Structure 1
């Protein structure tokens, strides 16, 4: 079956729209959050700047205050910048020695151990933790020490992934995590999270899921706690081969990491890997690039190595994807260009046809207008004819009756031989009066047809040249001349005959009247003809 060009274009364009709609709303949220990344980082840098100012103001005398401020700076930097965090962990130890406070020295070594572990330096982490005298620590510090040791063993077990050392490290980690859990308040975040982590490492997946979901559903977690919980839970779904659920959790973890300006987190890297496996190269590239930038900023070698191992693979596929998209866009552009050419050709054809239709329509309109005008003129002529035929029939009938009476009277007087009476009868005939009566009847008939004739006639002149009729006068000679012209009698000789004037007199009347008007002479009679009958 052959498909037309518009159909092919429709299928291509709708196909691309459907693919675009596959983006999850969570991915959109993450991309939007990444767009605000600079704002979150600037907020953290502002807090750090204020703490550094506080540290400078403390001077060298108040070492306890300096220790507290350095600890705050370490906490700001520990997931933000490895080198700065390491620097402040060292300063904590130095101030602890200056204070000669074994507890502060021991606690600062725990902090150093955390930052070393974040960099993947297992040996150095153990070396730092071995120097800690646990008996000197308070409950919170001991809990932190035990959990950090447990995490170090768990991470080492995951790093080795062998059948001999991994079980050993996991076993040691369990002992330390049990010690940490015993120091936690029941139902606290640390208590539930440690329980869930232990269940996960032991392979008790359902128990681990229950604990981690309990944290998410019933505890108000800060961004970092939320990121840690969702990242851990995503590992479970990866093991259960449920990548969609894992991706959703990693997206949430990555959003929380961006909001808390956490640069050492692995959520973004793991998310990029999963999206890459599912074929979402565009988002995978965006997130692995963000993870690489974070790893470079954080400065931890382990993170850089992890990201660097994945980045070239995704970047290479991204280049292939872009090239493929470029080819598709080129195809779309070519098809759209072809379609545009077709549209232009059709537009030109349609335009020409429309022009022809407009011309034809104009001819029809002009013809129709002329026809309407002709119909109006015919109707008007018919009305005039009807009116004047009736008028002249009545007039002729009256004259016939008068002639009949005159004939009978003459016949009677001839029979009786009263010849003198016949002369008297003839002398009684007043032709001037008869002609005047004829004009009056003409005026009445004309003004019945053209009641506005005098008003429209006067409108063609200045006020000083308006016709002013005598009382009882309907029309004067000037008006009768142009009344006859309005009725279609334009021949000067005929007008002269009807009005019983000489031809020259009528010529002079017409010329004089036209000369007084405000209208050019050649247009005057056209204006007279334009006066409408009722």
Structure 2
């Protein structure tokens, strides 16, 4: 019986192709699989229901025993309470069958079940009550492995300077006894040797790499890769643990360590948000299974990670406040400059209005940058560039005008102000907007046209550009839904914007109430 031996390491079945994926891509896959967790659990429940039905239809004691054993195996990584129930039934059936060997075997199963929930005393009581003389060599090996496992988890739980080293020492003593009962060169022998006390033999990586050279089953390969992850760092460690966690989700394995180890590893790398998310998932797994030790371990880490996350959020908020103050100072300075020019030279009022309008547009674009920056990262660079360019131009214009005014060349100052081509600036702004938007949404025009009859479909004048109506809906897709805001950005009246929106809703091939919702559903490139 290899159940206790294999329980030392998280059970999972990775697809070999996944081994070549990057850590970041595997984390995305893991998040996607977590979202489908209910689907996998439903499949698991269907299998369990079939096994329960088989048990209810069993009449013979032997058949009942086999059906109960199948249910125990199906529940052992899924639910502690159900696993405990069926292992108790196995013990009762072993007694009724008067089979001492089966009774000893099922006491080991009971011990395995108890240790998965962190019930150390009960596990040791169960081991003491097991008649080891009735066990064959393979069973006795599992007996020693369970002792080693129990002392290992007890050391993790105590985590002190006095008892933990003693527990660790006993762990290695029982592990050596298990190794002595295993055959040289076998998978179980090598996997156990990889767990030995440091310095007692070759480095554990030696055994894992040696095993990887063999032809292994998916399960055996998963065990080796999981063990290897404990001796890897950085993205390689994240990648291996992500593979394990993905398989845990797909197989509805809730008695698992991979998600907890993944959260801890991400925290060590400074990826606080990811660490907090996956530690929460680990807590959910522990709660669903009923694993007390894992719940304790996660409960110790979550407050630490949450505190770190709050600190980073506060720092980010401070940076935001500093940035907004800087923008406000720039806006105030620009306003003062405009006011001075207005007082000193009434003849340049037209130029002053242009400056004030530019300042208003810059502030508006800056605010829009922060509102949309959460979902449109490309636009951060765009608006920063526009802000910087206009401020530099404004500063240069201010210096030139002041210099010419101080020298008495007011006509030259007026001519320089007249040279400011607002329309050209706006065309360039729209061209840049179109380019960046279509980079994010290359299929936007096609998606809109698919919802319109052929005679109302849009055909932009040039590739990579949008027309006025498309820009209205592009702004909506970026989260700007207010007609007044859209009209201000595109310099149209509110009624014009409303008319464009209403006209397209009524002519669309889809229901009018769904048209703008489907516009919002157009996906960013790569999603």
Per the normalisation by structure 1, the TM-score is 0.53
How many angstroms apart in 2 are the aligned matches of 1:330 and 1:318? 26
Say if 2:286 is the partner of 1:289. no
How many angstroms apart in 1 are the aligned matches of 2:280 and 2:368? 27
Say if 2:303 is the partner of 1:276. no
Counterpart residue number, 1:77: 75
How many angstroms apart in 2 are the aligned matches of 1:79 and 1:348? 65
Deviates more, 1:304-313 or 1:202-211: 202-211
Once the two structures are superposed, the pairs formed by residues 333-372 of structure 1 within 5 Å of their partners are: 333=371, 346=423
Once the two structures are superposed, the pairs formed by residues 50-199 of structure 1 within 5 Å of their partners are: 50-58=50-58, 61-162=59-160, 164-198=162-196
Say if 2:252 is the partner of 1:261. yes
Match of 2:206 among 188, 203, 210: 210
| Structure 1 portions without partners, runs of 5+ | 1-21, 352-534
How many angstroms apart in 2 are the aligned matches of 1:24 and 1:221? 27
SS in 2 for 1:88: helix
Deviation, 1:98, is 2.1
Match of 1:249 among 240, 256, 273: 240
* 1:247-268 CA-partner distances (Å, limit 9, x unpaired): 2332222223223322121221
Q: Which has the higher helix share?
A: 1
How many angstroms apart in 2 are the aligned matches of 1:324 and 1:334? 20
How many angstroms apart in 1 are the aligned matches of 2:97 and 2:422? 89
For the pair shown, which has the larger CA radius of gyration, 1 or 2?
1
Deviation, 1:74, is 1.3
Would you say the 8 A contact 1:189–1:219 is kept in 2?
no
Would you say the 8 A contact 2:157–2:293 is kept in 1?
no
Say if 2:228 is the partner of 1:233. yes
How many angstroms apart in 1 are the aligned matches of 2:160 and 2:280? 31
| Structure 2 portions without partners, runs of 5+ | 1-21, 324-366, 374-378, 391-420, 429-527
Deviation, 1:124, is 1.0
How many angstroms apart in 2 are the aligned matches of 1:309 and 1:294? 16
The number of residue pairs the alignment matches comes to 321
How many angstroms apart in 2 are the aligned matches of 1:67 and 1:349? 81
How many angstroms apart in 2 are the aligned matches of 1:97 and 1:29? 47
Deviation, 1:167, is 4.6
Deviates more, 1:130-139 or 1:172-181: 172-181
How many angstroms apart in 2 are the aligned matches of 1:280 and 1:205? 35
How many angstroms apart in 1 are the aligned matches of 2:202 and 2:370? 50
How many angstroms apart in 1 are the aligned matches of 2:189 and 2:426? 80
Deviation, 1:332, is 3.2
Counterpart residue number, 1:220: 216
Identify the structure with bigger relative contact order (alpha carbons < 8 Å, sequence gap 6+): 2
Deviation, 1:321, is 5.7
Once the two structures are superposed, the pairs formed by residues 309-328 of structure 1 within 5 Å of their partners are: 309-318=300-309
How many angstroms apart in 1 are the aligned matches of 2:94 and 2:372? 72
SS in 2 for 1:232: helix
Deviation, 1:44, is 2.4
